[in-house]
Amino acid sequence: MESNREQYVTSLYELAANINSARAPESILQSLVEGMAKAMGAKGCSIMLLSPDRKVLLHTAAYGLSDWYVRKGPVSADKSISEALEGKPVAVLDATVDPRIQYQEQAGKEGIVSILSVPMMLREDIIGVLRIYSGERRYFNLDDMYFAAAVANLGAIALENARLYEAVQKDYETFRRDMLEWRAALGYEWMLGETVTPPEE
């Protein structure tokens, strides 16, 4: 148990450092799901975000899962471990028979047995879920749930940072364009890279 906690602390530090890097959000989320799966010794991990109408969960990043499974069909928010969207971590012991699993048969074919689903929260708003998939029957403990919840929240922060960065970039580009137009309207020669020398008296 203690070794698991140490591994989780180390992994959390590394994942937080990734989020603080200047990488594309897709790359950051991909490193999150990969790091999560490896830290927990799981078969795979995925991040699914709610659609704008909050009816469907959309696969945004996945690791350890086949394309066939990721694209198996629309994941309904109210049919697929919906309790996680109420803000609670949910552990499923056997995904092939649990009624909370929308695609039981597909989970069996993918080799998925147990699933841990935790909400991704941005402030008070749930924006999606992070899921851990185990290829064997697994009883997820409190350490597992706390670690998964922390990583899920880091993922939400990464998405928000990406959105804010994009907004800042747009604002900067608008400001820069306005300044160029203003300078051009005033007829500054140094807009063309030339130095203006004051006339001698």
**Residue 137 scores a pLDDT above 80:** yes
* DSSP letter assigned to residue 113: -
119 three-class SS: strand
**Residue 163 scores a pLDDT above 80:** no
* DSSP letter assigned to residue 82: G
Average pLDDT in the chain: 81
At residue 168, the pLDDT reads 52
CATH of domain 2-165: 3.30.450.40
Percent of the chain, pLDDT > 90?
40
At residue 191, the pLDDT reads 46
What is the spatial distance between Cα 116 and Cα 36, in angstroms, rounded to a whole number?
12
Higher pLDDT, residue 108 or 26:
108
Cβ atoms of 79 and 102 within 8 Å: the answer is: yes
Closest CA to 88 of 151, 154, 149: 149
| Average pLDDT of the segment spanning 92-96 | 96
pLDDT band at residue 190 using 50, 70 and 90 as cut-offs: very low
Higher pLDDT, residue 8 or 176:
8
